[in-house]
Amino acid sequence: MGRYEYATVSLCDEAYLEDAQQVLADVFDIAINVCGLAEQETVGAFLASGIAHQLERHNPAFVAGCSGTELVQLMLPFAGRWEEVEPVPRFDRTPDWWVGWALAYYQFARAASYRSIFSRVPYGEIRQLYHPLHEAPESKFVEVLERRLAQRQGPTKLKVQREAAGFSQTQLARASGVGLRSIQLYEQRQKDVDKAQAATLFKLSRALHCEVADLVEAA
């Protein structure tokens, strides 16, 4: 892997990230290449077991307190498997190891849920990025995955409400007093509508005859 490229992180954040990358890399590598789980079985067990949620919460008991083998052992029943997983030394950085490493970095950088990632970009598609990206900085993986996720999102709530009201973007700008370019950027997700000023959201909701909660993506 190349050098980490962090925005501005504390030593505590950096230590967490390294542990999270290592453990998730081991989980995917062991589940698929040692236990023989299929890719979708692995993803399903990872999500259903709650391990994904614990890693998102930065729970130290899961991030640094368990090995990849121990976490896979917790996952197996959710794939209908009950055998004991024996620790096996792993020295090769397989494509599946890289998927876990890169995804943990992305989750940390964007605070996205693993469920939301896998619901739009299948594991196998992420794995196919190994050859062009496994020697690139992790920030490059973030850029590529971000583009793919954005391409598969539905329209923003703002766009849905605008079209339901029968407004063009220009008409909404005139009716609300919010700049046309701002409306375009919100709908293209180049600006985060959730971070818009309260006054802006109020103007848009009043013009569209809806609630502010009908416009923000996190609601």
The share of the chain scoring above pLDDT 90, in percent, equals: 75
The per-residue pLDDT for 88 is: 87
Q: Do 55 and 96 sit in the same domain of this protein? A: yes
Q: Which residue has the higher pLDDT, 9 or 86?
A: 86
Chain mean pLDDT for the chain: 90
d(CA 91, CA 127): 19
Q: Do 84 and 140 sit in the same domain of this protein? A: yes
The per-residue pLDDT for 194 is: 87
- Is residue 1 situated within a structural domain? no
The answer, yes or no, to whether residue 11 has pLDDT greater than 70, is: no
d(CA 33, CA 25): 12
Q: Do 132 and 180 sit in the same domain of this protein? A: no
The answer, yes or no, to whether residue 8 has pLDDT greater than 80, is: no
CB 127 within 8 A of CB 96: yes
Q: What is the pLDDT of residues 203-215, one digit of tens each?
A: 999 999 999 999 9
- Is residue 25 situated within a structural domain? yes
Query: Can you say whether the dihedral through the CA atoms of 57, 71, 46, 151 is positive or negative?
Result: positive
Q: Do 20 and 127 sit in the same domain of this protein? A: yes
The structural domain count of the chain equals 2
Q: Do 204 and 113 sit in the same domain of this protein? A: no
Structural domain including 133 reads 11-151
Q: Do 185 and 129 sit in the same domain of this protein? A: no
The per-residue pLDDT for 111 is: 86
The first and second tokens of residue 47, run together, are: 């999500």
Residue of 163, 165, 170, 173 lying closest to 204 (CA atoms) = 173
The answer, yes or no, to whether residue 131 has pLDDT greater than 70, is: yes
Q: Do 132 and 60 sit in the same domain of this protein? A: yes
Q: Do 107 and 87 sit in the same domain of this protein? A: yes
Banded model confidence at residue 144, pLDDT cuts 50, 70, 90: very high
Where among 124, 151, 178 does a domain terminate?
Answer: 151
Q: What is the pLDDT of residues 145-198, one digit of tens each?
A: 998 988 888 889 999 999 999 999 999 999 999 999 999 999 988 888 988 999
Q: Do 52 and 98 sit in the same domain of this protein? A: yes
Q: Do 172 and 72 sit in the same domain of this protein? A: no
- Is residue 3 situated within a structural domain? no
The per-residue pLDDT for 1 is: 40
Q: What is the pLDDT of residues 38-65, one digit of tens each?
A: 999 999 999 999 999 999 999 999 999 9
d(CA 91, CA 148): 31
Write phi, then psi, for 188 (nearest 5 degrees): -85, 0
Q: What is the 3-state secondary structure (H, E, C) of the chain?
A: CCCCCCCCCCHHHHHHHHHHHHHHHHHHHHHHHCCCCCHHHHHHHHHHCCHHHHHHCCCHHHHCCCCHHHHHHHHHHHHCCCCCCCCCCCCCCCHHHHHHHHHHHHHHHHCCCHHHHHHHCCHHHHHCCHHHHCCCCHHHHHHHHHHHHHHCCCCCHHHHHHHHCCCCHHHHHHHHCCCHHHHHHHHCCCCCHHHCCHHHHHHHHHHHCCCHHHCCCCC
Banded model confidence at residue 9, pLDDT cuts 50, 70, 90: very low
